[in-house]
Structure 1
Amino acid sequence: MKGPRDSHEAPMNGARGMTLLELMAVLAVFALMTTLSVAGMRGNLERRRESGASRELESAALEARQRAQATNQPIRFVVDANARQANGTTGSVARWERPVCDNTWDSDSCPATRCLTKTCRQDPSCCDETGDDIPLPPSMNASQVSGLCFLPASGRAVRAEGDLSCLRTSRGLPDALAAATPGTLKLTYSSGRVPTLFRVEGLTGMVSVLDCDAPSASAYAGKGCP
């Protein structure tokens, strides 16, 4: 016959401690989940930076158009690679510039001859005014926007590859203006994000951006969008 002590000391056959191997497996799974979570957060942050930069470029381009109309001087858009930023780092930076002129009585002398191939970051004396710097994410390529120019008074947009002259010597030539109509420029990303179309209406200079994964971008399949 069992006494009271014996009835409370029955062995717990199903209970056992966690082995070292099991503990290591749990920690490995936890580490993997943490790594995936951090990578996802970084990816989301990068996408937000890319979206923010593309919208800032759109806003700055519209501001540049307004300045060209208000000042009766050409306003050009530039992208400087490896520019020093406010936080001390270097990277690609975009902004608009109002270059100085060779004389003070007509806009046909703008930009000044010495500034036809120089940005105002390369030579600060080449500018009367600049827009705010727009730091671009390392994953963004906005080189097609560089050289975009809004012409005096009308705000008409032109762009010639690698040219910062704003068509100074050929603004009165219809064929030259037509050939320099920007059309659809493209912002691309090394992050795997689909391109963003930077759409520029030549005659009016109006600018809008469209992500290639937007429903309305289907009309641009093969015309900038994959």
Structure 2
Amino acid sequence: MSSHTHAREDFMNGTRGMTLLELMAVVAVFGTAATLAVAGIRGDLERRRESGAARELESSAMEARQRAQATNQPIRFVVDANVRQVNGTVLNVARWERPVCDNSWDSDSCPATRCLAKTCRQDPSCCEEVGQDIALPPSMDASRVSGLCFLPASGRAVRSEGDLGCLRASRGLPDMLAAATPGTLPLTYSSGRVPTLFRVEGLTGLVSVLDCDAPSAKPYAGKGCP
């Protein structure tokens, strides 16, 4: 038998297959890596949805301000809970509304008395016009934006807690207007993401969003940002 044959036999005798325990360990490692990768992808998608929704809210609010100036009627922002979507999911949905008035000549009669505590999704007859629906991610709480209102002609922004009336009875009272200045309205997330500040300039009604982890958010520590 040649030396080459002996060497090959020695090599074959020195090798062995993987044991079941080793195979299970390899499978477990690959399974853990796959799970982490999927979780990372899902987390990234959730963050993208949150960022996209915040930007949509900003754009829709600016559109609402423009409609208040153009129509000389108040435009309010609402968040309706548990709205069924076409795909069967149930989500919170935000949009702006131009409510009907008690008469056709006086913007101080808007919203109509019967619509002061109803969104137009609850009673479609309460609206002249509505903005596009913004389906909010399940992780986002935008309830602080609900009730934000842009006043007729000026586009000035006000907000009263739990009130959809757009300060109907108090628009001529400077103290009431000042007290209802929205300031910063936090959008919060159950995903662990830092809040986003929905900043509303009261006199002009201009809106912008700012994430609390941005360097420019430092002055808002304790004022909506942790």
TM-score normalised by the chain length of structure 1: 0.96
Q: Percent identity?
A: 80
Which residues of structure 2 form unaligned runs of 5+? none
Aligned to 1:179: 179
Residue type at the aligned position of 2:40: G
Aligned to 1:10: 9
For residues 76-225 of structure 1, the aligned pairs below 5 Å read 76-225=76-225
Aligned to 2:53: 53
Shift of 1:89: 1.9
How many residue pairs end up in the alignment? 225
Over the aligned positions, Cα root-mean-square deviation in angstroms equals 1.3
Once residues 99 and 23 of structure 2 are traced to their aligned partners in structure 1, the CA distance between those partners, rounded to angstroms, is 67
- Secondary structure at the aligned position of 1:86 is classed as coil
The 1:26–1:179 alpha-carbon spacing in structure 2 relative to 1, beyond 3 Å, is: same
Which residues of structure 1 form unaligned runs of 5+? none
Once residues 157 and 8 of structure 2 are traced to their aligned partners in structure 1, the CA distance between those partners, rounded to angstroms, is 90
The CA deviation string for residues 96-121 of structure 1, in whole angstroms up to 9 with x for no partner, is 00000010011011000000000000
Shift of 1:215: 1.2
Residue type at the aligned position of 1:11: D
Q: Which moved more, 1:203-212 or 1:3-12?
A: 3-12
The CA deviation string for residues 162-218 of structure 1, in whole angstroms up to 9 with x for no partner, is 000000011001111011000110000000000000000000000000000111111
Once residues 130 and 8 of structure 2 are traced to their aligned partners in structure 1, the CA distance between those partners, rounded to angstroms, is 85
Residue type at the aligned position of 2:218: S
The 1:16–1:175 alpha-carbon spacing in structure 2 relative to 1, beyond 3 Å, is: same
- Secondary structure at the aligned position of 1:10 is classed as helix
- Secondary structure at the aligned position of 1:22 is classed as helix
Shift of 1:136: 0.2
Once residues 202 and 109 of structure 1 are traced to their aligned partners in structure 2, the CA distance between those partners, rounded to angstroms, is 22
